Structure 1
Amino acid sequence: MKSERTAPGESLGDARSNRKEFKAKRKNGNSETKQGDIKHKKRKRDERAEQPPTEDDIWFDGVDPEDIEAAIGPEAAEVARRKMGLESTSKPTVEQVLVKEKAFSGLTKAVAMDCEMIGVGPQGEDSIVARVSIVNQFGKCVYDKYVKPTEKVTDYRTEVSGIRPEDTKKGEDFKKIQEEVADILRGRILVGHAVHNDLKILFLDHPKKKIRDTQRYKPFKQKVKSGRPSLKLLCEKLLNVKVQTSEHCSIQDAQAAMRLYTLEKKQWEAAIKEKTKPKKNETL
């Protein structure tokens, strides 16, 4: 008969009990590991299942892409459209059209400005500035501040301006904003839509040769057949996007004006350069 070894001070019964307990723990440990492996594999399968379909997955011909979209999803429908040589129905957002995503976000040689105004006076017929927004040539916002009213507000014009009493309460002093804006504009090309109104409300001047007004640019007027086109009309006709669909946003309006400018920048600047060239008889 084979003798069983025990640790000093340990009885034979204790040794057997400890060995049984060790075996049980080892067995349970292996079981937990296996369960963990199963969960991991299941998660991997789920992740693979969530991947959008590839072109090889979409093989059925003669099926309406809209039916594919309803049954499988938009990714599959886009693949089907490509295979059929159809145009994609996905349309870029307004922001994607107006703002260059991975671009410089600081001040540039050209900036666009837009102001939101609110009403003062008995009927709210007079205007004061409530918000000033400036974007760079890539549409990135470089300045956006609310202005503390200098007079009693009688009409916030919220349905158009988007301004509410709580906005102006957190506004900064007009004089401070006026100085900050003047510093930004100094020496730069100023883009805007009817931008003379924005300068006027801020009591600022800017060299005429450095102003690019999208409302006054003749080629734009000709393209949309309007002597005084709105920013909304220009964006809809020339950029194929809709802006100012409800309350206005001075950031978006500035972005829209800048995008219109960059659309024609090369021709616009060339025309100005040609116009400012001295005539031959002037050089003699």
Structure 2
Amino acid sequence: MMGTQLKKNPNQSQLNPNWANLQQRLKSHGPKPSRRSNDPESESTKSILGKRKERSNAEPSDSGVCTNPLNPVNGDFSITDAVAMDCEMVGVGQGNKSALGRVTVINKWGNVIYDEFVRPVEHVVDFRTQISGIRPRDLKKAKDFRIVQKRVAELIKGRILVGHALRNDFKALLLSHPKKDVRDTSEYQPFLREGYKRALRHLAAEFLNVEIQNGEHCPIEDARAAMLLYQKNRRQWEKQAKDQRRLKQKREKRKPKEKPRDGPLES
């Protein structure tokens, strides 16, 4: 009998005692239950966050967040059908004569397509830094006036030109532009107050709810403000411009043609 039992379990006598003790302990204690949190909500939250990383740069909610309306709306730097221009001046001569120190041109999206410091023909005696933001170092490597003038003329040719008090810019650039293509925010009727022109910063505060020109002027910011004022009123503005052109044409047609004067009688 005993011989038969030994044949059935030949490895029993060779079993490692440590292994036997471990098996015995596992049988007596049973499998250990997995640890679970007592809070089911925290459990589900951990499992969800474990599947994806938290977004540290998540977009803020719309409530309580104010974005600057003067920021460009896209990355399009093409030369559009309408452009805005702004110039900053420096003092030459006795200091009371203005000369071009910087010119900026932006497209209708608010992106800068030209921005250059300009070296005036005459010697600069007043940089007017508190207003112009121009410093002596800015004009050390500035471009020659004639080069800038030519480039600006190319950019605005055949396009609607937007700006504020553009007559000052034209005077500094020694350029002109067809009146039918000029959209000047200082002259637009709905922007006037009791018939008087208003500063660009006041128009920006009232119609755009944004503050500009607090200290040194930025021509990029000023050009964007003028362009945004135009874009917000473009439909009405263009209709008004069209009506004015028609009225001008009618008046010209009504004007009687002057008859040629007879020459002096010969004796």
- Could you tell me which of 263, 268, 272 is aligned with 2:237? 268
**TM-score under structure 1 length normalisation:** 0.66
- Could you tell me which of 89, 107, 121 is aligned with 1:136? 107
CA RMSD of aligned residues (A): 2.7
Higher helix share: 1
- Could you tell me which of 64, 77, 91 is aligned with 1:105? 77
* Residue 91 (str. 1) matches residue 62 (str. 2): no
Q: Which residue of 2 aligns with 1:241?
A: 210
Instruction: Give ranges in structure 2 of 5+ residues lacking alignment.
Output: 1-48, 255-267
Deviation at 1:89, TM superposition (A): 1.8
The count of corresponding residues between Structure 1 and Structure 2 is 205
Distance 2:190 2:227 in 1: 16
Structure 1 residues 92-118: Cα deviation after superposition (integer angstroms, max 9, x where no partner): 12xxx1243225311011111111111
Q: Which residue of 1 aligns with 2:125?
A: 154
Distance 1:178 1:49, change over 3 A: closer
Deviation at 1:247, TM superposition (A): 0.9
SS at match of 1:274: helix
Q: Which residue of 2 aligns with 1:164?
A: 135
Distance 1:48 1:246, change over 3 A: same
**TM-score under structure 2 length normalisation:** 0.70
1:204-215 → structure 2 map (5 Å cutoff): 204-215=175-186
- Sequence identity, in percent? 43
User: Bigger shift: 263-272 or 99-108?
Assistant: 99-108
Answer whether contact 2:86 2:104 (CA < 8 A) is retained: yes
1:50-69 → structure 2 map (5 Å cutoff): 51=56
* Residue 254 (str. 1) matches residue 226 (str. 2): no
Q: Which residue of 2 aligns with 1:199?
A: 170
Q: Which residue of 1 aligns with 2:196?
A: 227
Distance 1:161 1:132 in 2: 11
- For 1:199, the aligned partner's letter is F
Instruction: Give ranges in structure 1 of 5+ residues lacking alignment.
Output: 1-43, 54-73, 83-87
Distance 1:271 1:147, change over 3 A: same
* Residue 145 (str. 1) matches residue 120 (str. 2): no
* Residue 117 (str. 1) matches residue 89 (str. 2): yes
Structure 1 residues 117-160: Cα deviation after superposition (integer angstroms, max 9, x where no partner): 111223x2111111110001111110001111322211111111
Distance 2:213 2:108 in 1: 20
Distance 1:46 1:107, change over 3 A: same
Distance 1:203 1:51, change over 3 A: closer
SS at match of 2:143: coil
Distance 1:51 1:185 in 2: 44
Q: Whose Rg is larger? A: 2
Structure 1 residues 225-261: Cα deviation after superposition (integer angstroms, max 9, x where no partner): 6711100000000000011112111111111111111
Distance 1:177 1:245, change over 3 A: same
Distance 1:48 1:185 in 2: 50
